[in-house]
Amino acid sequence: MDILFFKAALFGYLLSTCGYMASLILKRVSAARISAWVLLAAFVLHTVSLGLRAGGAGLTPAVNLHEALSFFSWAISGGYLAFQLKTRTRVLGAFVSPAALILMLAAASGLDVISIPESLEGGLVAAHVILSLTGEALLGLACLAGIAYLLQDRWLKHRRVTGYSRLLPPLGDLDRIGHICLLIGFPLLTFGIAAGSIWAGSVWGSHWSWDSKQILTSLAWLAYAVLLHQRLAIGWTGRKAAVLSIAAFLFVLFTLIGNAFFRSVHNFV
């Protein structure tokens, strides 16, 4: 049953993406409004799928890379939908929905995996993965907002007020999204890393093993720590914050797909 809801959610993300693309092509916000409701429906279906998968088979996002990608897609979609309640960010969905769709397509090939390795059982593992992935998803949303910010900023600076620049959210809203995502996502990532370190110490006898995923995650954490410091202590906003947010998220992407290229103690995900 969870696979049925997953496929329905995947179809919803596809429809939403098509609608957002239509809004850009036709330069109509109305298409984006409809697509936002479709995205919400896809998110609800996805939530049901994850709930059934977690309740019925006892699965968590820690099972493998495919489960992690599915959860990441769910988290980034939910984060974006939450921001729509307070900001005029409907067309930002043209960046978010395709990302969620791509993640879901990548996750679809692992739907049949229904067993949990014994090494991944326990509350600390679930806390580690769920907190880390939720934090990374919010930081991913900050990256997408940063990309939209740079595009909008470029158009406005060159006085190229086109239909696209009118569609995109105001610079202030995009910067605010990036800031809030950082304020919430960074602590979640920090707590997730801490939970994973405690679990590793109890299972392997060492909190640090110079693993490729640990190194990449640490680099990402340091990059976001610098960005948070610059925002809060120095008052960085706008273009600088957007650029660093995008650059820092590259490390997060490497942590998500790095297992396909490097030997790692995280190869089970």
Top mean-pLDDT range of 85-94, 158-167, 168-177, 225-234 = 225-234
Give percent helix, percent strand, percent coil of the chain, each to the nearest 5. 80, 0, 20
Residue located via tokens 């990608």: 69
Give 169-188 pLDDT, tens digit per residue: 777 888 888 889 999 999 99
Q: Write b or e for each residue in 158-197: b if 16 or more Cβ atoms lie within 10 A of its Cβ, otherwise e.
A: eeeeeeebebbbebebbbbbbbbbbebbbebbbbbbbbbb
pLDDT the model gives residue 269? 47
CB 196 within 8 A of CB 213: no
Is the confidence at residue 40, as pLDDT, over 90? yes
> H or E segment at 147?
helix 123-157
Q: What are 123's two structure tokens?
A: 């509350």
Residue 16: other Cβ atoms inside 10 A: 29
pLDDT category at 267 given cuts 50, 70, 90 is low
Top mean-pLDDT range of 91-100, 135-144, 231-240 = 135-144
pLDDT the model gives residue 118? 62
The rounded percent of the chain whose pLDDT value lies above 90 is: 16
pLDDT the model gives residue 101? 92
Residue with more model confidence, 84 or 80: 80
Task: Give SS3 for 267.
Answer: coil
pLDDT category at 198 given cuts 50, 70, 90 is confident
pLDDT the model gives residue 206? 61
pLDDT category at 162 given cuts 50, 70, 90 is low
The rounded percent of the chain whose pLDDT value lies above 70 is: 74
pLDDT the model gives residue 228? 87
CB 144 within 8 A of CB 160: no
- From 1, 16, 106, 81, select the one nearest 49 (Cα to Cα): 1
pLDDT the model gives residue 116? 61
Is the confidence at residue 197, as pLDDT, over 90? no
Residue located via tokens 């109509």: 28
Which amino acid, 201? G
pLDDT the model gives residue 14? 94
Q: What are 128's two structure tokens?
A: 């580690």
CB 149 within 8 A of CB 87: no
Top mean-pLDDT range of 49-53, 66-70, 137-141, 220-224 = 137-141
- Using alpha carbons, list the distances in angstroms from residue 141 to 59, 81, 259: 25, 11, 23
CB 201 within 8 A of CB 207: yes
Is the confidence at residue 89, as pLDDT, over 90? no
The set of residues, in sequence order, having a beta carbon less than 8 Å from that of 53 and lying 6+ positions away, is 2, 6, 59, 67
pLDDT the model gives residue 70? 86
pLDDT category at 159 given cuts 50, 70, 90 is low
Label residue 253 exposed, middle or buried (CB < 10 Å: 0-12, 13-18, 19+): middle
pLDDT the model gives residue 211? 67
Which amino acid, 58? G
pLDDT the model gives residue 176? 86
pLDDT category at 62 given cuts 50, 70, 90 is low
Residue with more model confidence, 112 or 152: 152
- Give the span between the Cα atoms of 259 and 268, in whole angstroms: 9
Tell me the average pLDDT across 195-208.
Answer: 69
